[in-house]
């Protein structure tokens, strides 16, 4: 039986210390937790840590337990939000309930099993889901050229846009997704997002950043009114899905999920960071074709100007993420050299932001 676990934490229960390298302690703790969820012994095999992803810590393992008189064996994933990670402190609840709700949709997502935000267990929020087969194509090619041949570009791109349209059309109102973060007021969702990321910049940068403050002012002044409120993935792009033989098997990395303007995700797809010198957004389609395919699937017309606004916002957001990476590496002690590498890219990100704002103006 699967369940969302949100056990109340006793006031005197100390937070555990999450050490991602101490895999035996993590494994033993997870086995005890899982046993409490299924009401019986759960055998947890060796944990193997994956180096993919810049945010949550990811382990793969095999689990065996009994359910309704039959033996269940699954290859599973444990995702834990490290306290010092780029977006820490994390919560498992938004991602877990979203994935749980989407299991009944046509959006390809991993099946989820258990979760908790109780820090006295692992010392970090976590959830468990299926290990979905597939590889994640990445946007960075060695020569800046195409990521796919023509056949795979259209084949995967069609599924990529289709999954995004299905996500935005999903009726979340009568599900637990209605309780996650976000803005349900169509007139304020853009401004609230601008302010949210500026607040994060204030936490992550000891100095003011003129380019980002100027961008925030422009984004507030030109904030659009959303045509509807949808689940927004927050990081929907190449690199965040799995595929096998030309079939997308799962959309991954939902830690930035929230309720908001669905065009935000379309703008994020268009970022230069995900296509390099390619004319194709996320190496799939040109802007006009991306817009037209999305509109045909959802019945919602989107203008290039709206996409350009959210592309500028997305570049602003990504630039601020780079300040978060610098902060978690230099001040919070998150010893991942990829975070330092992101810090080195800040000047380039600010130039990309300037260009995106010029295109949107």
pLDDT value, residue 52: 79
Which of 130, 117, 86 minimizes the C-alpha distance to 252? 130
Residue with tokens 């998150």: 334
Between residues 42 and 53, which one has the greater pLDDT? 42
Round to whole Å and give the CA distance between 124 and 120.
8
141 confidence band (pLDDT: 50, 70, 90): confident
Helix axes 304-330, 287-298, angle to 10 degrees: 100
- Taking CA atoms, 126 is separated from 53, 79, 120, 278, 303, in Å, by 15, 5, 12, 37, 39
User: Residue 1 above 50 pLDDT?
Assistant: no
Q: What superfamily would CATH give domain 23-130?
A: Phosphorylase Kinase; domain 1 (3.30.200.20)
pLDDT digits (tens, 9 = 90+) for 300-335: 999 999 999 999 999 999 999 999 999 998 888 887
Which of 151, 110, 163 minimizes the C-alpha distance to 246? 151
User: Residue 90 above 90 pLDDT?
Assistant: yes
Half-sphere exposure of 285 (CA within 13 A, CB side): 19
State the CB neighbour count (10 A cutoff) for residue 147.
22
pLDDT value, residue 331: 87
- Taking CA atoms, 210 is separated from 215, 273, 322, 344, in Å, by 8, 22, 15, 18
| Average of per-residue pLDDT across 35-51 | 95
Reading the block at residue 352, the tokens are: 């990309």
Half-sphere exposure of 276 (CA within 13 A, CB side): 14
pLDDT value, residue 12: 56
What are the domain boundaries of the chain?
Answer: 23-130, 150-360
The mean of the pLDDT values for the chain is: 93
* Least trusted range by pLDDT, from 144-153, 250-259, 309-318: 144-153
Three-state DSSP class for residue 229: coil
pLDDT value, residue 13: 65
Does domain 150-360 match CATH 3.40.50.300?
no
pTM score: 0.93
pLDDT value, residue 3: 45
Read out DSSP for 78-145?
EEE--TTSTTPSP-SHHHHHHHHHHTTSSS----EEEEE--TTTSSS-EEEEE----B---S--TTS-
pLDDT value, residue 82: 92
pLDDT digits (tens, 9 = 90+) for 201-250: 999 999 999 999 999 999 999 999 999 999 999 999 999 999 999 999 99
| Average of per-residue pLDDT across 123-133 | 97
Round to whole Å and give the CA distance between 300 and 266.
13
- 231 DSSP β-pair partners: 259
pLDDT value, residue 2: 46
User: Residue 296 above 80 pLDDT?
Assistant: yes
Round to whole Å and give the CA distance between 359 and 58.
37
- Taking CA atoms, 344 is separated from 12, 142, 347, in Å, by 42, 19, 7
């Amino acid at each position: 039986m699967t369940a969302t676990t949100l056990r109340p934490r006793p006031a005197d229960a100390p937070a555990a210390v999450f050490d991602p390298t101490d895999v035996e302690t993590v494994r033993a703790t997870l086995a005890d937790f899982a046993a409490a969820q299924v009401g019986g012994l759960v055998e947890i095999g060796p944990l193997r840590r994956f180096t993919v992803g810049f945010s949550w810590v990811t382990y793969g393992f095999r689990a065996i337990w009994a359910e309704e008189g039959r033996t269940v064996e699954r290859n599973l994933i444990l995702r834990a939000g490290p306290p010092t990670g780029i977006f820490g402190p994390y919560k498992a609840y938004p991602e877990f309930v979203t994935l749980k709700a989407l299991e009944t949709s046509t959006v390809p997502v991993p099946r989820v099993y258990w979760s908790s935000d109780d820090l006295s267990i692992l010392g970090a929020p976590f959830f468990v889901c299926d290990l979905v087969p597939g590889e994640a194509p990445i946007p960075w090619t060695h020569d800046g050229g195409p990521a796919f041949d023509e056949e795979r570009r259209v084949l995967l791109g069609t599924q990529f846009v289709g999954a995004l349209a299905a996500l935005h059309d999903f009726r979340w109102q009568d599900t637990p997704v209605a309780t996650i973060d976000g803005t349900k007021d169509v007139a304020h969702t853009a401004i609230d997002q601008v302010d949210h990321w500026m607040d994060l910049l204030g936490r992550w940068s000891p100095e003011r950043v003129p380019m980002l403050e100027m961008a925030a002012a422009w984004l507030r002044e030109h904030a659009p009114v959303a045509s509807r409120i949808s689940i927004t993935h927050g990081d929907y792009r190449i690199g965040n899905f799995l595929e096998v033989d030309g079939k997308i098997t799962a959309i991954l990395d939902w830690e930035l999920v929230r309720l908001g303007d669905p065009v935000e995700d379309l703008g994020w797809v268009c970022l230069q960071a995900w296509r390099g010198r390619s004319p194709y957004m996320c190496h799939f389609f040109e802007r006009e074709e991306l817009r037209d395919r999305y509109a045909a699937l959802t019945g919602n017309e989107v203008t290039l100007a709206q996409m350009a606004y959210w592309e500028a916002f997305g570049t602003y957001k990504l630039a601020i993420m780079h300040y978060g990476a610098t902060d978690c590496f230099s001040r919070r002690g998150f010893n991942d050299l990829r975070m330092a590498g992101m810090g080195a890219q800040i000047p380039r990100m600010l130039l990309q932001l300037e260009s995106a704002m010029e295109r949107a103006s």
